[in-house]
Amino acid sequence: MTDVEVHLQHLRQVFQVMRENKLYAYLKKCIFCAPEIPVLGSYISKEGVRADPEKIEAICAWSAPQEQMQPRQWLEIATYLHNYSKNFASTVRPLSQLLKEDATWSWHSEYQAAFVAVKTSLSTAPVLMLPDHSKPFHVVCDASDFAIGCALMQFDDEGRERMVSYQSRQLKTAERKNPVHNKKLLAMRNALVKFLVYFRCLH
């Protein structure tokens, strides 16, 4: 079957499920037979999932904050695309410190470096691979003094290692006291929680 025929077959299956469950579609917001479609801040095509370039442009065009509320506004936008950025939580940690209630406002080199690093990471974000549940996944985990991170990957049909998703989070105060091997175990546990939906679909 051609790609179009497969697409039409998938549409019939979706419509059948909708019909059985009495669900309705708003046709003005539907896109059919398109090479790429926008979905929740991303663009999906047969090549994979890429971040919305307009969101990336808005993040990169943001000037260095001049007052305490501005980092929060910028981080909210940037965090929306965290799954495209390796070790996002670790990278933004200096900026997160500015959001604490008792934080004294200042903007020095450490904050500027983190600000630029996030922009660079997102502007060079990879096109994420669409998960193929007929193939095995593999996970890479990492832990630092202040954050843990993990990456879900697969090999595509051409044998290239592709990223499916990044996930990371900052460590809580008590977690930061753990020895390195415990932090790595915590990173592994976090990966299993974040990526469980992918593993459950394997057959």
pLDDT tens profile 77-124? 999 999 999 999 999 999 999 888 888 888 999 999 999 999 999 999
What's the CATH fold of domain 138-200? Ubiquitin-like (UB roll) (3.10.20)
For domain 49-123, is the CATH number 3.30.70?
Answer: yes
Q: In the prediction, which pLDDT does 118 show?
A: 97
Residue 121 CA to residue 78 CA, distance in Å, equals 10
Q: For residue 83, how many C-alpha atoms fall within 13 Å in the half-sphere facing its CB?
A: 19
Q: In the prediction, which pLDDT does 202 show?
A: 63
Q: In the prediction, which pLDDT does 199 show?
A: 85
Residue 27 CA to residue 11 CA, distance in Å, equals 13
Q: Please report, for the chain, the start and end positions of each structural domain, with discontinuous segments joined by +.
A: 1-33, 49-123, 138-200
Place of tokens 């919305």: 52
Confidence at 68, pLDDT banded by 50, 70, 90: confident
Residue 62 CA to residue 55 CA, distance in Å, equals 11
Q: Would you say 149 and 142 are in contact if contact means Cβ atoms under 8 Å apart?
A: yes
Q: Would you say 170 and 89 are in contact if contact means Cβ atoms under 8 Å apart?
A: yes
* pLDDT for 172 beyond 80: yes
Q: In the prediction, which pLDDT does 203 show?
A: 56
* pLDDT for 201 beyond 80: no
Q: Range with the lowest mean pLDDT among 45-59, 100-114, 175-189?
A: 100-114
Q: In the prediction, which pLDDT does 149 show?
A: 97
48 closest CA partner among 160, 166, 162, 151: 162
Question: What does pLDDT average to over the chain?
Answer: 93
Please, which residues have CB within 8 angstroms of residue 13's CB and are 6 or more apart in sequence?
none
Selected residue with higher pLDDT from 167 and 134? 167
Per-residue pLDDT tens for 133-164?
889 999 999 999 999 999 999 999 999 999 99
pTM score, two decimals? 0.83
